[in-house]
Amino acid sequence: MAVIHHTTITPTKVELLTAWLPTRPWYRGAPDAPVLTKSGGFRLDDPEGEVGIEFMVATDTSTPEPTAYLIPLTYRGAPLEGAEDALVGTMQHGVLGKRWAYDGCHDPVLVAELLSLIEGKAQAMAQSISDTPDREVTRSYEGEPFSPQDFTPRPTDDEQGTHLPAPHGTILHLHRVLRPVPENMPLPEQGALGHVAGGWPGPDGTRLRAVFMRLDTH
């Protein structure tokens, strides 16, 4: 179980992402820098208790139409070998000390737990409360059992998002730019082999939902 520490982080996660987001091919904001707000998301627990796993929804208001991004992150107490290109930045945690923040699509711990979530073997947890499931996160999967522990992630990014080859000849598409709908409207794209969806509060206080990722065959 991940313990959520309510403490200081320097620089903040939003400050790290403000510098990192414009380097991504799927970034849609202003050319100088996004204006970010942490809007929502969820966490997964690392069974070993070593790696923090967060799926953050961050809203950028640098353009006339706000854009919500899905940003999977992992937090480690030491560098992840071979993942230098996936480093978002380092920060000083008030309880845990120096932490290395990575684009989680490159982190095998996050990918293993994400595949377990899709399959229904892992539980989405509340983003800011310890030991509390996030019941708003939904998932589906129709396929063979995964064996994610031995899986090495090899993601690619383009203007459409992040694409992660997965077991059994499937590919996981992460919707980095989210397409929200009001919570009382049906979600699109649930005809895939599998999916994960979630919600967050919109700028006007309404509850929004979107498909975060979908699993398809090649």
Sheet strands (E) in 115-179: 138-141, 156-158, 161-166, 170-174
What is the structure's pLDDT at 67?
95
Phi, psi for residue 210 in degrees, rounded to 5? -160, 155
Q: What is the pLDDT of residues 27-59, one digit of tens each?
A: 999 988 999 999 999 999 999 999 999 999 999
Sign of CA dihedral 1, 190, 169, 177: negative
Q: What one-character-per-residue DSSP string does 86-100 give?
A: GEEEEEEETTTEEEE
Measured CA to CA, the distance from residue 110 to residue 54 in angstroms comes to 9
Q: Is the pTM of this model over 0.75?
A: yes
Give the other-Cβ count within 10 Å of 147's Cβ: 11
- Beta-carbon contacts of residue 30 (< 8 Å; ≥ 6 apart): 62, 63
Q: What is the pLDDT of residues 152-207, one digit of tens each?
A: 889 999 999 999 999 888 999 999 999 988 777 777 665 589 999 999 988 778 88
| Whether 55 contacts 111, CB under 8 Å | no
Measured CA to CA, the distance from residue 28 to residue 76 in angstroms comes to 28
CA dihedral angle for residue 188, residue 189, residue 194, residue 197, rounded to 10 degrees = -30
- Rounded percentage of the chain residues whose pLDDT exceeds 90: 71
Measured CA to CA, the distance from residue 35 to residue 22 in angstroms comes to 11
